[in-house]
Amino acid sequence: MITYIEALESYIPKEGELSLFLGGGITDCPDWQKELVDILRAKLDIDLTILNPRRANFPIDDPSASYDQIKWEFDHLRRADAITFWFPQETLCPITLYELGAWSMTDKPLFVGHHPNYQRKADVFHQTRLVRPGAVITQYIEHMADEIIDWVKYGNCGDDVMPDITDIPPLRRVCESVDPAHEKLFDFDNLLRWFGFR
């Protein structure tokens, strides 16, 4: 079940609860956050708290609104268990680039993606992979959702080491059904290498 929290509502982490901060473009961008949340709601049957900095009604005429927003994001990036960074094609998202650079230097799970037409996609890819060589950089919201679901269900995240492959039910069924004469074809280390996890 998805628990949805939107800025400036405060979130206090609870033991055993997973939370995800939706970092990425807001100003002059489509509401990709809603698209991602809708996909996760439809596909995820495990509890996840989503922290969305995009507000339905931002008081643009309130001089203190900007500070309140920045402070909420600062606090909740630190409280979240994992962070997305999505770069839409409409803007360069300089703040998101800054935050990605900062959080790439930590061990926090990150889900990084960009629209196929994002202007600085090569920079996002190369800079992220230099710091996190195994990082998965997606080009579609649906693929980012799949990465998040894998993290919630199995505990792995893009640049993490994949958990024991036999712990993933569909792969366990395949491995259990292999004819012993063909066992070498399904060597787990070979499979991990083939899927890019080693």
38: nearest Cα among 128, 141, 126: 141
91: nearest Cα among 24, 136, 23: 24
DSSP bridge partners of 19: 49
CATH assignment of the domain containing 72: 3.40.50.450
Q: How far apart are CA 192 and CA 198, in angstroms?
A: 6
What is the pTM assigned to this prediction? 0.78
Q: How many domains does the chain have?
A: 2
Q: How far apart are CA 16 and CA 114, in angstroms?
A: 30
Asked if residue 115 and residue 26 are part of one domain, the reply reads yes
What's phi and psi for 19, nearest 5 deg?
-135, 150
Asked if residue 34 and residue 62 are part of one domain, the reply reads yes
Task: Show pLDDT as tens, one digit a residue, over the chain (198 residues).
Answer: 899 999 999 999 999 899 999 999 999 999 999 999 999 999 998 899 999 999 988 887 788 889 999 999 999 999 999 999 999 999 999 999 999 999 999 999 999 999 999 999 999 999 999 999 989 999 999 999 999 999 999 886 655 544 444 444 444 444 444 444 444 444 555 555 555 554
